[in-house]
């Protein structure tokens, strides 16, 4: 992440072994100030450019939110589902190849950059011509079997569905691929660290989404410290509405390294020819005159856009943005009193930086992370 992106997105500070809140953020809610007054039709491209991490998901969600505010909410069709499926797979692969080795202090196990360059799904995204996402995903399955899973996709996925933790332990112990060795490294760093989770399910019903919209509309600071039913919640590849393990069997994911490993399983789910395009949820609702809300399950978790439009008083002129809120997964997971803050606070103050960074990687932030030792924390407080 470069200096400009740090300035726009901010950074997170983790304070292991310190009293709550053990997470600080330099982020700000600058989106509404930038987009206010601009033509509504340009919002999808504008947000995709301003927020390039998961830019495709921002484009899809903004488009759906604007349509809902115009009174035209739509059910996601095959093209939108395929686009979200492909964008999420690309984001998982980029994180796995480019970010996990650094976050897990495992450069020696870093996957081959040449292998990533040969990935059909990423090659398709670099072309100037329109992409057939379904065809690109189909061509990527053999690549995943060779470079990620080390075996036929169907066999790996069947083992996961039978017993997720046993599957991940056996697979990472074999270490047949670089991603398997990275998961094994995460197991070493995070060990038996556990945290009870409250999976974010605000998108399960229209009533819950309407309540969320009320919070976004009435409280400009809500996007920086969101809550659901008065509690902090978490979101990610381990909290999908379609995942039976994230419901009554959610203890599967209480081990922190399993939260990280769930992204490997999601790659398998998304690549599955028998329904990968149905794995991720997305939708939109019209909230009232000129207001809409849209959401989708992205690589990092639930993304929500709320849009309020101002109709033009001039014939044939487009509506403009009166206000807009973007609620990203990082704000849930790295809430000052959320799951990462609780886990960090419970660590001994002497915890090594590698373990703290592995904790952060398990929750997949979209911004840079700094780990502050107790002495640095006191100096920051005194400044």
pLDDT at 247: 64
Across 244-273, average pLDDT: 89
Q: pLDDT for 121-152, tens place per residue?
A: 999 888 867 779 999 999 999 999 999 999 99
Instruction: For residue 8, give both structure tokens.
Output: 């726009």
Overall domain count for the chain: 1
Residue 312: predicted pLDDT: 78
Q: 380 pLDDT band (50/70/90 cuts)?
A: very low
Given this model, what pLDDT does residue 29 score? Answer: 76
Kindly report the backbone phi and psi dihedral angles of residue 325, in degrees, each rounded to the nearest multiple of 5, phi listed first: -130, 135
Residue 269: C-alpha distances to residues 35, 71, 135, 158, 274 (Å):
35, 33, 16, 10, 9
Q: Does a structural domain hold residue 54? A: no
pLDDT (tens digit per residue) in 28-69:
778 888 999 999 999 999 999 988 878 889 999 999 999 999
- Please give the average per-residue pLDDT across 293-322, as a whole number: 91
Average pLDDT over residues 257-286: 96
Q: Is residue 254 part of a domain?
A: yes
According to DSSP, residue 247 is labeled T
Q: Is residue 127 part of a domain?
A: yes
With tokens 């952060």, the residue in question is 360
pLDDT digits (tens, 9 = 90+) for 330-357: 999 999 999 999 999 999 998 999 999 9
Compute, in degrees rounded to 10, the torsion defined by CA atoms 265, 266, 268, 270: 170
In whole angstroms, give the CA distance from residue 132 to residue 198: 37
What's the pLDDT tens digit per position in 211-253? 999 999 999 889 999 999 999 999 999 999 998 877 656 788 9
Is residue 237 a part of any domain in this protein?
Answer: no
pLDDT band at 25 (very low <50, low <70, confident <90, very high): confident
27 within domain boundaries: no
**Which of the 8 DSSP states describes residue 372?**
P
Whether the CB-CB separation of 240 and 247 falls below 8 Å is answered with no
Domain span holding position 103: 77-199+248-277
Considering the domain boundaries, does residue 166 fall inside one?
Answer: yes
Provide the pLDDT confidence category of residue 156 given band limits of 50, 70 and 90: very high
């Amino acid at each position: 992440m470069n200096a400009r992106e740090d300035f726009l997105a901010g950074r997170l500070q983790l304070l292991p072994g310190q009293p709550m809140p053990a997470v600080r953020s330099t982020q700000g809610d600058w989106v509404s100030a930038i987009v206010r007054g601009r033509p509504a039709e340009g919002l999808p491209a504008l947000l995709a450019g301003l927020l390039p991490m998961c830019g495709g998901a921002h484009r899809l969600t903004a488009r759906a939110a604007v349509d809902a505010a115009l009174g035209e909410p739509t059910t996601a069709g095959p093209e939108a589902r395929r686009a979200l499926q492909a964008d999420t797979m690309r984001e998982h692969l980029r994180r796995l190849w480019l970010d996990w080795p650094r976050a897990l202090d495992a450069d020696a196990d870093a996957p081959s950059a040449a292998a990533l360059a040969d990935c059909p799904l990423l090659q398709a995204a670099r072309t100037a011509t329109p992409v057939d996402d379904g065809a690109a995903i189909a061509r990527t399955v053999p690549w995943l079997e060779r470079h990620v899973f080390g075996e036929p996709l169907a066999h790996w996925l069947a083992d996961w569905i039978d017993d997720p933790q046993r599957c991940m332990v056996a697979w990472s112990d074999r270490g047949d691929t670089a991603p398997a060795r990275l998961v094994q490294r995460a197991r070493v760093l995070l060990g038996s660290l556990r945290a009870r989770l409250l999976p974010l399910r605000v998108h399960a019903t229209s009533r819950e989404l309407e309540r969320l919209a009320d919070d976004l509309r009435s409280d400009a600071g809500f996007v920086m410290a969101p809550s659901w039913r008065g509690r902090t919640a978490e979101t990610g590849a381990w909290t999908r509405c379609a995942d039976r393990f994230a419901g009554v069997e959610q203890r599967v994911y209480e081990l922190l390294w399993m939260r990280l490993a769930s992204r490997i399983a999601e790659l398998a789910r998304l690549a599955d020819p028998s329904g990968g395009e149905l794995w991720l949820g997305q939708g939109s609702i019209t909230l009232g005159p000129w207001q809409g809300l849209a959401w989708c399950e992205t690589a990092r978790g639930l993304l929500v856009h709320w849009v309020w439009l101002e109709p033009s008083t001039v014939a044939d002129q487009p509506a403009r943005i009166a206000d807009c809120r973007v609620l990203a997964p990082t704000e849930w997971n790295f809430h000052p009193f959320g799951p990462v803050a609780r886990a960090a606070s419970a660590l001994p103050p002497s915890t090594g930086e590698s373990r703290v960074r592995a904790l952060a990687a398990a929750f997949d932030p979209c911004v840079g992370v700094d780990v502050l030792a107790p002495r640095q924390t006191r100096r920051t407080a005194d400044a």
